[in-house]
A and B are shown apart, each in its own frame.
Chain A
Amino acid sequence: MTVHRGGTAVRPRRRSIGMRRLRGMIRKEFLQIVRDPRSIAIAFLLPAFLLLLHGYGVSLDADNVPLAFVAESPSAEATSLSAAFAGSPYFEVRKYRAMQDAVAALTTHQVDGIVRVREDFAGIADPDGSDRPPRPIQVILNGVDANTARLVSGYAEGVWSLWLADQARQAGREIQPPLELVSRIWYNSEMRSRNFLVPGLIAVNMTLIGALLTAMVMAREWERGTMEALMVTPVSMFEILLGKLIPYFIMGMGGMALSVVMAVGVFAVPLRGSLWLLVLAASVFLLVSLGIGLFISIIARNQFVAGQVAIIVTFLPAFLLSGYIFDIASMPRPVQIITHAIAARYFIAILQSSFLAGDVWAVVGPNLAALSFMAVFFLALCGVKSKKRLD
């Protein structure tokens, strides 16, 4: 095992892990953890706190969008269209008589969109007027948040087509679109964005917590000079690393379990896959993220730099490059290649399938393999980089 060889390079006479020494190391770490209970708080309370805050905070489902409705000359049709918008759960209608007032409301962010009907809107549903050119209903959206604007535009179309069919039915006609689009959304039929965001958040949070727990532990020993003290003991480097890893792994898994329980219990995300597979994927992922933290800590040898690096390489990449919210397949090819180095990417793919679809081996297999590879890679790297040496 590479890790082992790296660890014993200085003292080749010891080839196996001494259980007694390892226990001693773990005991020391646990004592350090217990004396400074903040890391227990990091492991257990922080995931719960972050998941609670963000689980409620992140949603891509727009409802009660404030909408200005402008009817320049009142008519029965305009009133019924406005009522149709007001009746939709997606909109909160404010009526305006003049377009310029509605525009002012849009530019000052009081409303997110304007629906405007003109004078010729009256009599739109007359059965004998069907050969006239279609009358426009103007919809203006604040397009700054393009994603929300696109959703809102879809909602507006839904309201409009229902209203149109309703008007026609009242006039005794049938309005049929030339083509009819029927959609079926698998795994998440009610299109709740929380169902995929909350599992993704578990991965984002655990990336942070894994790195946070270990990013400073080695650097701290170096900085305080206790590393030298450890070196003169018979403990091998490999045992030191394992002794650091095991307590944090146990605490991290506790945080992970709490997160999953909350996702299902508080946020009502369905868990359709098997629990053992989730536990397996979570533990491999946690090893990767602890390994990355440990690696940063070994390389930096200085808590200040280790802390800075941990902030930079964990949160934003896990947030933006992992497929948590932005679709990886739509990114440019070079960026897609970079995303392969983000462990959260593989874990999120597994989580989204495990929670919403079930045990899909076509998804779980390759992603779990990639995570395992990363775990071995980073832990081996820690072993190689942390040979006992003084400089």
Chain B
Amino acid sequence: MFHRILALVVKEFLAIFRDKRSRLTVVVPPLVQLMVFSYAATYDLERVPYAVYNEDPGAFSRSLTARLDGSPNFRKVAEITREAEIAPLVDGREALLVVHIDRRFSRDILSGEPGRVQVILDGRNSNTAMVALNYVRAIVMAESRELVRTGRAAGFPAVLETRAWYNPNLESRWFIVPGILGVITLLVTLITTALSVAREREQGTFDQLLVTPLRPVEILIGKSIPGCIIGLVEGTACLLVAALWFQVPLRGNLFMLYTGLALFLLSAVGVGLLISSLSVTQQQGLLGVFLFMVPAVILSGFTTPIGNMPVPVQHLTRLNPVRYFMVVLRGVFLEDAPASVFFAQFWPMALIAAATLTLAGWLFRHRIN
């Protein structure tokens, strides 16, 4: 039995790696994508283009604008003198925000009134606007503290001391890069498995495979192993790049990570083979991959949190293996989460893997056209 499976595995690897174009598509793009996406995917903003509309002749506004100028997060694109100049700058996306300092700003502060700073933001991407507003708020807060310290204003009786655990500087790259590992592993596994049975069916070689001494279980195992091995290799490569190149802290237990990866790969292979055995032509196979992969990535908590989704959609995500793997990845990379968190992710992935693989194996036999 073992050497029969081995022969099938060798055949599958040959099918993937014999063709030069196919070889390239499996190896090169995922690694390039990992690098490019990891650099690209961050919610943090840099060089936010802004304009200053300062009507105040006093010293306090100069101190505030100097603080903005000195921040690495901001890049001044214009200093304007009329209100009418605001709209074209924001409309044309030259400035993401305009800081407007009122004529009475310094006078108000001297007389004990709050100095008013107005910010006009381009809300077309409301998340970017919100992040930029938070940056401005931090600068205004720092300036407020300075005013309190120099005795220009009264302090508060209580202050918020906010700390973020696991990610003290709130770098969103630490959140996204482990997620990219999951998405790329999914992608590679799906493209190596999902079209494989469909291609054999279309070319008629699947019937030949069925009349060999190989039993359906053996075909299933033989078809699964290449996807798992490739996924394992790409996953490890991604892991190394994330930890060594992007310096994402790897705080937790690698055993948990690899257990999670193995279960995730099995469920991805299961879904891939299920799609493959359901489709008669490769075009249907491709369609199936898209139909599964796109929602699986978008509704996995990879970029937008599951907690923000409406409750019915949240329940739907329970069918999605990527969702669980995201928790495992972040739990190992950043949190060093307790074992109970990991086990809560392991069993649903195991269940999905068992269900999809069984169904795919059954369909091998019962769907001969």
* Chain A residues with a Cβ under 8 A of chain B: 38, 42, 46, 50, 53-54, 56-65, 106-109, 112, 121, 124-125, 129-130, 132, 134-151, 153-154, 156-157, 160, 164, 168, 175-189, 191-193, 195-197, 208, 212, 215-216, 220, 300, 302-305, 307-313, 315-317, 319-321, 323, 325-327, 329-332, 334-335, 338-339, 349, 352-353, 356-357, 360, 362-363
Which residue, of B167, B299, B308, has the highest number of chain A Cβ atoms within 10 A?
B308
CB of B121 within 8 A of CB of A303, answer no
Known: A175-B156, A180-B117, A329-B49. A362 touches B43 (CB 8 A): no
- Write the nearest CB–CB distance from A194 to chain B, whole angstroms: 9
Residues in A neighbouring B167, C-beta threshold 8 A: 143-144, 146, 149
CB of A146 within 8 A of CB of B172, answer yes
- Chain B interface residue number, banded: 35 or more
A-facing residues in B48-91 (Cβ within 8 Å): 48-49, 64, 88, 90-91
CB of B115 within 8 A of CB of A180, answer yes
Q: Which chain A residue lies CB-closest to B142?
A: A179
Residues in A neighbouring B247, C-beta threshold 8 A: none
CB of A151 within 8 A of CB of B21, answer no
* Chain B residues with a Cβ under 8 A of chain A: 19, 21-22, 25-26, 29-30, 33, 36-37, 39-49, 64, 88, 90-94, 96, 109, 112-131, 133-134, 136-137, 140, 143-144, 147-148, 152-168, 170-172, 174-175, 183, 187, 190-191, 195, 199, 202, 282-287, 289-291, 293-295, 297-299, 303-305, 307-310, 313, 317, 327, 330, 334-335, 337-338, 340-341
Residues in A neighbouring B299, C-beta threshold 8 A: 53-54, 57
- Write the nearest CB–CB distance from A63 to chain B, whole angstroms: 7
The one of A106, A144, A181, A329 that contacts B330, using a Cβ cutoff of 8 Å: A144
CB of A124 within 8 A of CB of B93, answer no
CB of B117 within 8 A of CB of A147, answer no
Residues in A neighbouring B40, C-beta threshold 8 A: 320-321, 326, 331, 335, 339
Residues in B neighbouring A125, C-beta threshold 8 A: 157
Residues in B neighbouring A129, C-beta threshold 8 A: 157
Q: Which chain A residue lies CB-closest to B171?
A: A146
The one of A121, A145, A182, A325 that contacts B305, using a Cβ cutoff of 8 Å: A145
Q: Which chain A residue lies CB-closest to B308?
A: A59
Residues in B neighbouring A185, C-beta threshold 8 A: 121, 123, 126, 129
- Write the nearest CB–CB distance from A293 to chain B, whole angstroms: 11
CB of A311 within 8 A of CB of B286, answer yes
Known: A106-B165, A178-B144. A212 touches B287 (CB 8 A): yes
Residues in B neighbouring A53, C-beta threshold 8 A: 295, 298-299, 313
CB of A148 within 8 A of CB of B134, answer no
CB of B123 within 8 A of CB of A189, answer yes
Q: Which 9 A-B pairs have the closest CB atoms?
A: A143-B164, A362-B92, A188-B123, A178-B153, A143-B167, A185-B123, A307-B286, A146-B170, A146-B172
Q: How far is the CA of A330 from the CA of B154 in the complex (A)?
A: 37
CB of A138 within 8 A of CB of B161, answer yes
Known: A304-B195, A305-B22. A187 touches B124 (CB 8 A): yes
Q: How far is the CA of A112 from the CA of B155 in the complex (A)?
A: 29
The one of A130, A134, A184, A316 that contacts B183, using a Cβ cutoff of 8 Å: A316
Q: How far is the CA of A368 from the CA of B293 in the complex (A)?
A: 30
Residues in A neighbouring B147, C-beta threshold 8 A: 178-179
CB of B297 within 8 A of CB of A107, answer no
A-B contact pairs, 25 of them (CB 8 A): A46-B291, A60-B305, A106-B165, A107-B341, A108-B337, A112-B307, A129-B157, A130-B157, A132-B157, A146-B44, A160-B160, A179-B116, A186-B122, A186-B123, A303-B282, A308-B22, A310-B286, A311-B187, A311-B286, A320-B41, A326-B40, A326-B42, A327-B43, A330-B48, A357-B124
Q: Which chain B residue lies CB-closest to A65?
A: B307
